[in-house]
Amino acid sequence: MKKFLIVGLGNIGEKYDNTRHNIGFKIIDALAKDYDATFETDKLGDVASFRFKGRTFILLKPNTYMNLSGKAVKYWMDKEKISIENTLIVTDDLNIDFGTIRLKEKGSAGGHNGLKDIQEKLNTTTYPRFRFGVGANYSKGRQVDFVLSKWSKEEISLLIERLPVSCNVITSFGTAGMANTMNTFNGK
C-alpha cells in the first residue's frame, strides 16, 4: 500500500481562520470532509487519514505555526516512513493570481517562510509542492497584512468552486503521479 503525506500549511488559532495564509489548512479540511476523515491532535499537528484507490493519504496540519512547519513535516515523514517524492506541501502563493494552481517538484521558497523552513529541515529544495494563488492585491510593504487578512466576499464565493479542484489535485498526485498531475492542473 502506497502512502502519501499531504501537508497543508497554515497558522493555528481562531484569529488565523479564513485568512489567505491558511489556504493549506482550508484545502486539507475540504479533502478530509470529502473522505469522512477526522483530524486528531497528535505530535506537532492535527492528523487525519483516508484510503483512495489503494493508497493511504495522511493529512497533516502542523501546529508549529507557518514559519516552523519543517519540524512537523520531517517528523511525520520519518514516523510514517514516507519518501519525499510522496510528500506534498500545500500552501499559498502571492505571486500567482487568485485561485490559480501551480504544482512544482522543486524550486526556491519564493520568500515563503514556511517553505524556507521545510527546505532547511529536509535539507533540499526538491520536494513536491502545490501552490494556490492568493493574488497580490496589496500596497507596497503590506504583504504580511494581506496574507493574514480574511478572504473577501468575492474570494469566498470563488473558493467554493476552487476547493473541489484543489482536492482533485491531491488525489491525482497520489494516483496519477506528479508529472501527470502537473500536466492536468497547472495554470487552471
Local structure of 7: helix, strand or coil: strand
Q: Which amino acid is at 185?
A: F
pLDDT of residue 72: 98
20-51 pLDDT tens trace: 999 999 999 999 999 999 999 999 999 999 99
pLDDT of residue 140: 74
Res. 143 pLDDT band, cuts 50 70 90: confident
Partners of 61 in the β-ladder: 46
- The domain segmentation of the chain, as residue ranges, is 2-185
Q: Is 101 helix (H, G, I), strand (E, B) or coil?
A: strand
> Of the residues 21, 74, 112, 131, which is catalytic?
21
Instruction: Give CA–CA dist 92/134, Å, rounded.
Output: 6
Residue 138 has pLDDT above 80, yes or no: no
Active-site annotation holds for 21 = yes
pTM for the model: 0.95
DSSP letter, residue 176: T
Does the domain at 2-185 match CATH 3.40.50.300? Answer given as: no
